[in-house]
Amino acid sequence: MPLTGSFRTVSVLFLVHLMVLVVFTLQTAEARRLAAVNTTTSAFFVFGDSTVDSGNNNYIPTISRSNFSPYGKDLPDHIATGRFTNGKLVTDFLSSYAGIKDMIPPYLDPTLTVEDLKTGVCFASAGTGFDPLTAQINEVIPIQKQLKYFKEYKSRMEVEIGKEKTRRLISSAFFLISAGTNDFMVNYYGPTKIRSKTYNISGYQEFLLQQGQQLIQGLLGLGARKIGFVGLPPIGCVPAVITLNSDNALTHRGCIQRLSAVARRYNTLLQIKLAAIQKQIPAATIVYVDIFNPIDRMVRNPQQFGNNLRPIEIWCSD
């Protein structure tokens, strides 16, 4: 899909639910773009699922947790924080790159100070999706509730630092949204296949995109002006998906192309939708973040990314 004008694409590698492997590269052009954001952005807010949850699920009753070993084993103090990774999340790296702070804390952490809040927090919850039913299945925080938490955050900051400073903080902050994989993998194609009984796949994609659009519009309404929206990874290459869909999960570990094609189509529709929203709100910057192609490249050419990665961890090429 050719994209023009002020609509931009950023490429970042992301973790997918329950993957311990951390792979993160930022290409030079992207680092330059981030440097531009650097000068004006002083806070970073994050919405979504396990790809970006920095520990909110530690504070809610769910089994969708990662606050135990080996999670966190590569952090300086080797402590599992509730991030679904051995170290920092991509969003933590982005925050460091932008010179904001080293790691983005979970909003539900009751010990956060006003200083912590001022530079941004994470509202994400592992296991969630754009579909409220996905969050219900996993007993985690729906995306819609994450927006409510941000509203609550805004009111709290207005009391702490005043309305005008809060307005400026939010309008110069960077917002990142990363979710959607669980809607397909846990919900639509998951054990119960609930949504597949009422939606065909294009209908479901459209439903998710509408939910995503509502989140963007909610954020814009609360004063956000810089929003990055992450697309889907090649979901047919997620190890658990291969295991569940392969005729021999031990020997046949190729990606399930049929499922990755669903993600690709969703990403195309998402880019069209984001471009349309961008056109309506020229004062905002809405960016599509591509994780499909970087991960696809890694899956196809694992040796290019260092042969210290064991094949099973790089999702096996087809």
Nearest CA among 235, 300, 237, 295 for reference residue 265 = 235
Return the structure tokens found at 157. 């900051």
DSSP alpha helix (H) spans, the chain:
28-38, 90-97, 114-118, 132-138, 143-161, 163-172, 181-182, 201-221, 239-245, 257-280, 292-300
Instruction: Please tell me the chain's helix, strand, coil percentages from 3-state DSSP, rounded to the nearest 5.
Output: 45, 10, 45
| Nearest residue (CB) to ligand NAG, 34 versus 227 | 34
Q: Is 315 helix (H, G, I), strand (E, B) or coil?
A: coil
Considering only 99, 162, 306, 311, the residue that binds ligand NAG (CB under 6 A) is 99
**Using the rule CB under 6 A, is 259 a contact of ligand NAG?**
no
- Binder among 9, 38, 144, 213 for ligand NAG (CB under 6 A): 38
Q: Does 200 bind ligand NAG (CB under 6 A)?
A: yes
Q: Judge whether 219 and 147 are in contact, CB under 8 Å.
A: yes
Binding of residue 60 to ligand NAG (CB under 6 A): no
Least distance (Å) from ligand NAG to the CB of residue 86? 23
- Report the SS3 class of residue 107: coil
Regarding 31 and contact with ligand NAG (CB under 6 A), the answer is yes
Nearer to ligand NAG, 203 or 306 (CB): 203
24 scored as a contact of ligand NAG (CB under 6 A): no
Q: Decide if residue 203 touches ligand NAG (CB under 6 A).
A: yes
Report the alpha-carbon distance of residue 59 to residue 71 in Å, rounded: 17
Q: Which is nearer to ligand NAG, 159 or 272 (CB)?
A: 272
Query: Is 36 an interacting residue with respect to ligand NAG (CB under 6 A)?
Result: no
Site size for ligand NAG (CB under 6 A)? 10
* 155/268 with CB nearer ligand NAG: 268
Nearer residue to ligand NAG within complex by CB, 59 or 207: 207
Count CB neighbours of 286 within 10 A.
26
- Which of 13, 16, 19, 34 forms a contact with ligand NAG (CB under 6 A)? 34
Q: Is 29 in the site for ligand NAG (CB under 6 A)?
A: no
Q: Which residue has the tokens 């005729």?
A: 247
Cβ atoms of 91 and 44 closer than 8 Å: yes
Residues at the site binding ligand NAG, with contacts judged by CB under 6 A: 31, 34-35, 38, 97-99, 200, 202-203
